[in-house]
Amino acid sequence: AQSVAQPEDQVNVAEGNPLTVKCTYSVSGNPYLFWYVQYPNRGLQFLLKYITGDNLVKGSYGFEAEFNKSQTSFHLKKPSALVSDSALYFCAVRDIRGYSTLTFGKGTMLLVSP
């Protein structure tokens, strides 16, 4: 069975500072990894994905994520946080069944203070 772990329920960072939201995964075979963001009372918005290729993936709104196969991690990063980045962030892994069905982590709340 596949799984995703987001070890932090909440991450606090000051505006302008770099941010990292952690994600580790467990999957058989090659992982296909995704990050989504959820703003209050909204649906999930796709941020970025890793399928193959460069370990550093760039996505929307200045976010990027680093795939590390040896550590089975896919941490989300941003060099300079904005207050508007405050939201709930989900890491997800694509299911081995070959569909777009995703297995999600429990989410990490990011709070960026002014």
9-38 residues near other proteins, rule: CB under 8 A:
32, 34, 36
From residue 70, alpha-carbon distances to 17, 30, 73, 92 in Å are: 27, 12, 8, 18
Minimum distance between the CB of residue 103 and other proteins, rounded to whole angstroms? 7
* 49 binds other proteins per the rule CB under 8 A: yes
- From the list 46, 61, 79, 111, which residue makes contact with other proteins (rule: CB under 8 A)? 46
Say how far apart CA 57 and CA 107 lie, in whole Å.
20
Q: Position of tokens 């770099």?
A: 18
Which residue lies nearer to other proteins by CB, 16 or 58? 58
* 70 binds other proteins per the rule CB under 8 A: no
Which residue lies nearer to other proteins by CB, 43 or 114? 43
- Following CA atoms 24, 29, 31, 32 in sequence, which dihedral angle do they give, to the nearest 10 degrees? -150
From residue 3, alpha-carbon distances to 60, 87, 103 in Å are: 24, 22, 7
Q: Which residues bind other proteins (CB under 8 A)?
A: 32, 34, 36, 41-46, 49, 51, 90, 94-95, 97-107
